[in-house]
Structure 1
Amino acid sequence: MSRLATDHLSPRQKLALSVLACVLVAIVAAPLREVLDLANMAMLFLLVVLLVAVSLGRGPAVLASVFGVLLFDIFFVPPHFSLAVANLQYLITFAVMLATALITGHLTATLKEQAAEAKRRERRTRALYEAASRLAGALDVGQVREIVDGFVAGELGGRCHLLLGDSPAAIRTAASGFSATLAEAVLSDGLRRSDQEAGQRIYLPLRAPMRARGVLVVDASKPPVEDELALLDALASLTAIAVERLHYVEVAQQSELQMVTERLRSSILSALSHDLRTPLTVLVGLADSIALAPALSAPVLENAAALRDQAARLAGLVGNLLEMARLNAGSVTLRQEWQPLEEVVGSSLKLLGAALGRHRLRIDLAPDLPLLRFDAVLIERVLCNLLENAAKYSPAAGEIRLAAELAGDWVEISVSDEGPGFPDLIAEQLFGMFVRGSGESAMPGTGLGLAICRAIVDAHGGRIRIENLAGRGGRVVVALPRGEPPAVEEEA
């Protein structure tokens, strides 16, 4: 009888079959007791024990050993049909026969169990390999859930749930219907835990190479043994790697989409700026010529001056667009030279002219400022943008302060005002393109000033930050690296 044919039998049925096998052997061998020796008869019963151990297992084999010795004594050892023994030497035969049968049955059953365990492990290893292959090709989290749930149902007869999240708050949100406390503990310390109150529910951490990605919850149909727990640990590790791979695929796709969007936007800005720059320059020149005509009336001259100012402002906006497009395209070559900061500050103030209006300007430059290596034209653009922003959002007679001082290996240049300050929630976002603070829609501008400043400062290896002052107002701080200026030889 093969193993597959007996796997569905109950323990009582297996014991009954072992007894029936011994009885059949006794019936078949009974007519041959005058022909065969008792030693050969004993071999027949040992053969039955061996077959029972192979097909039915250890328990039926033990029963067959004992029952076979009894049948051998009753039917084949004189006096027949009695447990009495005519010769005491047969007791040794019985003992050896029983011991041999027990040992043979035990070894055979052990080998059978080891073979079955090896096949079971091979089948689970193959199933785990197939699950790993499918997880490697999963396109979304839904497919990962389906693959993992199918593996647990097929190998352990249970169900599983994925609680995804890399923070306690995310796990608490995902653990609806489960123990949020256990899920958070498993996520934090990375140890497997069991929920005794929920039956055979096991919480396993999804620990990926970079970070924990969530918790795998398994509802087993029976208490899992040690090798099944090891199988679940391997499954959790494969699931975590698959989830992390999908996360970084999504991040890469978003980054690529953002890069394509930025390139397209820069191309559009560059094209529009080039196309608009020439007519705007002509428009500014015509407005200047109209404003300088002596024979015009006062209202016409006022309108001409307003036209000139608006055309100049529009030309400045287009210039900012073109500058931002050039900086994003990486086509700007820095012409860095060692020079004093005072010169670029003076040229910036001269360039601004009346743009500061009636604001009070305060200049505080430390006397021990060293020479700095920078592109004077670009740093001039940074200072002009920061001063224009300060004048735009400060009160009409407010103070604007431009200061510079040493700060370790950096020289910090700050522009502060007495305006409303920067909104805290979007402080870092203000350095993005076309991003403006709340409540600024009435102010002219495109939201490119700080973006241009950051691009220029980053190109110089510096840093820029914004902060709100303790009383009222905001401050933009630009930090440029100090460096080592070349030595200047004294004249003889």
Structure 2
Amino acid sequence: MRPSSTLLRYAISFAVCFLTAVLALPLRGWLDTANVAMLFLLAVLLVARYLGSGPAVLSAFVCVGLFDYFFVLPYLSLTVEDAQYFVTFAVMLVTALTTGALTANLRREIDTACAREQRSRALYGMARDLAGAVAVEQVVEITRRFLGEAIAADATLLLPDASEKLHPFPADGSLRAETHLAYMAIKNEKPVECTQISGSGYALSYFPLRAPTRTRGVLAIAPFQGDLEVIREQRDLIETAASLVAIGLERLHYVEAAQRAELSASAERLRSSLLSALSHDLRTPLTALRGTAETLALTLGDSPHELAEALRDQAAHLSHMVGNLLDMARFQAGKVVLRKEWQALDEVIGSSLKLLESALSGRKIDISLPPTLTLIEFDAILIERVFCNLIENSTKYTPPETTIEISAVLIQGMVEIQVRDHGQGFAAGRENEVFTLFGRGATESSVPGFGLGLAICRAIVEAHDGWITAGNHPQGGAVITFALPMGTPPEVTEETDENMVAAT
């Protein structure tokens, strides 16, 4: 309290003692001195209850003096005729001091309990408001209102962006913050205070907002009166409030993350549905168009025949792209069932080259497979599709006279297969983007395509519990590497002449 209020309490205690003496004087002839002493003890008790321990001590001494002066013979004198009264004075003083101290302590405990209850009620209200906040601005407003009412202080929040740079909230607030002190609070994970900038419009104390997973920012505080002792006295309350704010901010973070994930999933489902519907709607007329073009190519003369062949080729190309759209939609919907069988890898590569015979048009293909390569369990049609997409990509982006190399190695129960060309390779830093839906090796490309081929390859390989990567060869050209698990192939027993005879 301020000195003026302290002096007032002592003055009131002094007045209570004299008032007790004035009220007891008319009863001096009727009451025994022991009863009069009880009246003074009651006065000390009341002073201790309402004014505190300091005024109670003063009133104890004053009451003993007034009791001696007005109620012990000789009256109006501090001298004592009977020495036994010294014992009375001592007992009265000790009793007054003891009861006064006990009452004052009880009052302090009551005041402390009341203050604790008020603080708990205020923190509960703050936690309830933070639980209903749906934006950072609301968290800031709730925090400032609570600290303004609880400790008469202004506050601002320093929150990090994606690059961990701190920004004040509210941005246009009157309270400014020293960011280097805020970074220090985050680094040391404890409050930081600075008295040198008091009264300059800057925050004096910085409390880290420690949430369960990470530090969510800094709470900067400055008392309205510029007295740092107010913050020091209420440090526990401020730290508790900072914890509530950190939990509120973390809740908002996870709510936003969940909303982004839900939005992304909804967009992905919508895109898959669109691809599936588009593919189904286009496949039927394209099939009819392609069949008509093939019929015309077989029945017309030379000049119309060339036009019919061009029409057939374009219809086949468009049908292939629509097929890719449909396949991608099926993979994303999880509707593809693998039909795994033990297959020879060289046979699948050979069938893929046969399908691309017209696209390869005499291009040299170099195949290198280890002699110890055994049968591998996979879906032959889908892996054939992987080889077709990879080889077709190589023919699109490389000159016709260059070689396409296909090789395989056995590493730790996996067969790693590489398809390499001798073109320009992938753009630096964009190797992983080619496997995304509609991803292309270059931002703008004159090569036709939707960017679905490699995305389909990744979906097929990962469905086989394998992996696929893209990169550039040190000597130039693009390299696509994918791996499939070897597994344990079944034992193949050769039929002998005796077994054949027995079978017959």
In structure 1, what is the Cα distance between the partners aligned to 2:308 and 2:197?
83
1:438-449 to 2 correspondence within 5 Å?
438-449=442-453
Q: 1:442 to 1:117 in 2, by over 3 A?
A: same
What TM-score, normalized to structure 2? 0.88
1:87 aligns with 2:86: no
Residue 235 (structure 1) aligns with: 241
Letter in 1 for 2:159: L
1:218 equivalent among 198, 209, 221:
221
1:207 aligns with 2:202: no
Superposed CA offset, 1:412-468 (max 9, x none): 112222333323444333322122233443110011111111111121111112122
Letter in 2 for 1:51: L
Q: Please state how far the C-alpha of 1:21 moved relative to its aligned partner.
A: 0.7
1:457 aligns with 2:461: yes
Deviates more, 1:94-103 or 1:353-362: 353-362
1:131 aligns with 2:126: yes
Preserved CA contact (<8 Å) 2:161 2:167: no
Q: 1:381 to 1:144 in 2, by over 3 A?
A: same
Deviates more, 1:350-359 or 1:218-227: 218-227
5+ unaligned residues in a row in structure 2: which ranges?
497-504
2:55 equivalent among 24, 39, 60:
60
Residue 304 (structure 1) aligns with: 308
Q: 1:223 to 1:467 in 2, by over 3 A?
A: farther
Letter in 2 for 1:186: A
Letter in 2 for 1:398: T
In structure 2, what is the Cα distance between the partners aligned to 1:314 and 1:104?
101
In structure 2, what is the Cα distance between the partners aligned to 1:50 and 1:463?
85
Deviates more, 1:330-339 or 1:216-225: 216-225
Letter in 1 for 2:272: S
5+ unaligned residues in a row in structure 1: which ranges?
1-5
1:261 aligns with 2:260: no
Residue 409 (structure 1) aligns with: 413
Q: Please state how far the C-alpha of 1:50 moved relative to its aligned partner.
A: 0.5
Superposed CA offset, 1:323-375 (max 9, x none): 11111111111101122211211111111112235643222222222322211
Letter in 1 for 2:467: R
Residue 193 (structure 2) aligns with: 194
Q: Please state how far the C-alpha of 1:185 moved relative to its aligned partner.
A: 3.9
Q: 1:79 to 1:161 in 2, by over 3 A?
A: same
Q: Please state how far the C-alpha of 1:29 moved relative to its aligned partner.
A: 1.3
Letter in 1 for 2:185: V
SS in 2 for 1:69: helix
Residue 179 (structure 2) aligns with: 180
In structure 2, what is the Cα distance between the partners aligned to 1:26 and 1:236?
54
Residue 366 (structure 2) aligns with: 362
1:345 aligns with 2:340: no
Residue 434 (structure 1) aligns with: 438
SS in 2 for 1:438: coil
Q: Please state how far the C-alpha of 1:381 moved relative to its aligned partner.
A: 0.9
Residue 325 (structure 1) aligns with: 329
Superposed CA offset, 1:235-262 (max 9, x none): 2222222222222222222222222222
Residue 501 (structure 2) aligns with: none
Letter in 1 for 2:142: I
1:373 equivalent among 374, 377, 388:
377
Superposed CA offset, 1:260-313 (max 9, x none): 22222222222221221122122223323333446333xx44433332222221
1:474 aligns with 2:478: yes
Q: Aligned pair count?
A: 484
1:42-57 to 2 correspondence within 5 Å?
42-57=37-52
Deviates more, 1:53-62 or 1:126-135: 126-135
2:295 equivalent among 281, 289, 308:
289
1:335 equivalent among 335, 339, 348:
339
Q: 1:408 to 1:191 in 2, by over 3 A?
A: farther
1:246 aligns with 2:220: no
Residue 18 (structure 1) aligns with: 13
SS in 2 for 1:10: helix
Q: 1:251 to 1:350 in 2, by over 3 A?
A: same
Deviates more, 1:172-181 or 1:20-29: 172-181
Residue 25 (structure 2) aligns with: 30
Residue 3 (structure 1) aligns with: none
Q: Please state how far the C-alpha of 1:317 moved relative to its aligned partner.
A: 0.7
In structure 1, what is the Cα distance between the partners aligned to 2:157 and 2:168?
9
In structure 2, what is the Cα distance between the partners aligned to 1:271 and 1:480?
32
SS in 2 for 1:362: strand
Letter in 2 for 1:265: R
Q: Please state how far the C-alpha of 1:166 moved relative to its aligned partner.
A: 7.7
Deviates more, 1:255-264 or 1:172-181: 172-181
Q: Please state how far the C-alpha of 1:49 moved relative to its aligned partner.
A: 0.8
Preserved CA contact (<8 Å) 1:171 1:183: no
Letter in 1 for 2:26: P
Q: Please state how far the C-alpha of 1:43 moved relative to its aligned partner.
A: 1.3
SS in 2 for 1:86: coil
In structure 1, what is the Cα distance between the partners aligned to 2:358 and 2:476?
25
Runs of 4+ in structure 1 off by over 6 angstroms are 6-9
2:73 equivalent among 59, 75, 78:
78
Residue 502 (structure 2) aligns with: none
Q: Please state how far the C-alpha of 1:116 moved relative to its aligned partner.
A: 0.7
In structure 1, what is the Cα distance between the partners aligned to 2:222 and 2:473?
57
Preserved CA contact (<8 Å) 1:166 1:212: no
Q: 1:173 to 1:395 in 2, by over 3 A?
A: farther
In structure 1, what is the Cα distance between the partners aligned to 2:269 and 2:184?
45
Preserved CA contact (<8 Å) 2:211 2:247: yes
Residue 272 (structure 1) aligns with: 278
In structure 1, what is the Cα distance between the partners aligned to 2:490 and 2:232?
71
SS in 1 for 2:310: helix
Q: 1:275 to 1:235 in 2, by over 3 A?
A: same
Superposed CA offset, 1:201-260 (max 9, x none): 333333333333222333345435778333333322222222222222222222222222
In structure 2, what is the Cα distance between the partners aligned to 1:432 and 1:412?
21
Aligned-residue Cα RMSD (Å) equals 2.6
In structure 2, what is the Cα distance between the partners aligned to 1:41 and 1:79?
16
Letter in 1 for 2:214: R
Preserved CA contact (<8 Å) 2:470 2:481: yes
Residue 382 (structure 1) aligns with: 386
Preserved CA contact (<8 Å) 2:433 2:441: no
Q: Please state how far the C-alpha of 1:392 moved relative to its aligned partner.
A: 1.4
Q: Please state how far the C-alpha of 1:112 moved relative to its aligned partner.
A: 0.3
Superposed CA offset, 1:54-89 (max 9, x none): 111111111111222222222222333233333333
Preserved CA contact (<8 Å) 1:166 1:213: no
Q: 1:97 to 1:289 in 2, by over 3 A?
A: same
In structure 2, what is the Cα distance between the partners aligned to 1:197 and 1:407?
66
Letter in 2 for 1:260: S
SS in 2 for 1:101: helix
